Amino acid sequence: MIEPLCILTVHAHPDDEASKGAGTIAKYQADGVRTVLVCCTGGEEGDILNPALDRPEVIDNLQQVRREELDRAAAIIGYDVVHMLGYRDSGMPESDANFHPDCFAVAPHDEAVDRLVAILRTEHPQVVVTYPEDQGNYQHPDHLRVWDITLPAVERACDASYRPELGAAWSVSKIYYTMWSRARILARHQAFLDLGLESPYDDGWFERPDKDDQITTKIPIDGFTHVRRDGLLAHATQIDPASAFWFGLPEEVDQQIYLFDDYLLAAGPEDTVTPEDDLFAGLRPTSVQT
CATH number at residue 147: 3.40.50.10320
> For residue 73, is it within any domain?
yes
> For residue 64, is it within any domain?
yes
Q: Supply the pLDDT for residue 1.
A: 62
211-240 mean pLDDT: 96
Q: Which residues contact 142 (CB under 8 A, 6 or more apart)?
A: 12, 13, 40, 41, 89, 90, 104, 105
> For residue 249, is it within any domain?
yes
**For residue 281, how many other CB atoms are within 10 A of its CB?**
18
Q: Supply the pLDDT for residue 138.
A: 77
**Number of structural domains in the chain:** 1
% of the chain with per-residue pLDDT over 90? 88
- Indicate whether 221 pLDDT > 80: yes
Own/partner pairs, 53-60, CB within 8 angstroms, 24+ separation:
53/236, 53/237, 58/237
Q: What CA–CA distance (Å, rounded) separates 70 from 177?
A: 21
What are 284's strand-pairing partners? none
71-95 mean pLDDT: 96
CA angle at residue 69 from 66 to 70, to 5 degrees? Answer: 85
Residue, of 3 and 258, whose pLDDT is higher: 258
> For residue 43, is it within any domain?
yes
The strand ranges marked E within 95-170 are 127-130
pLDDT in tens, 188-206: 999 999 999 999 999 989 9
Supply the range of the domain harboring residue 68. 6-180+212-267
Residue, of 94 and 19, whose pLDDT is higher: 19
Q: What CA–CA distance (Å, rounded) separates 282 from 142?
A: 32
> For residue 277, is it within any domain?
no
Burial call 244-267: b when 16+ CB within 10 Å, e when fewer: eebbbbeeeebbeebbbbbbbbbe
% of the chain with per-residue pLDDT over 70? 98
* Band (208; pLDDT cuts 50, 70, 90): confident
> For residue 129, is it within any domain?
yes
Phi (first) and psi of residue 180, to 5 degrees: -105, 110
Q: What CA–CA distance (Å, rounded) separates 56 from 53?
A: 9
> For residue 273, is it within any domain?
no
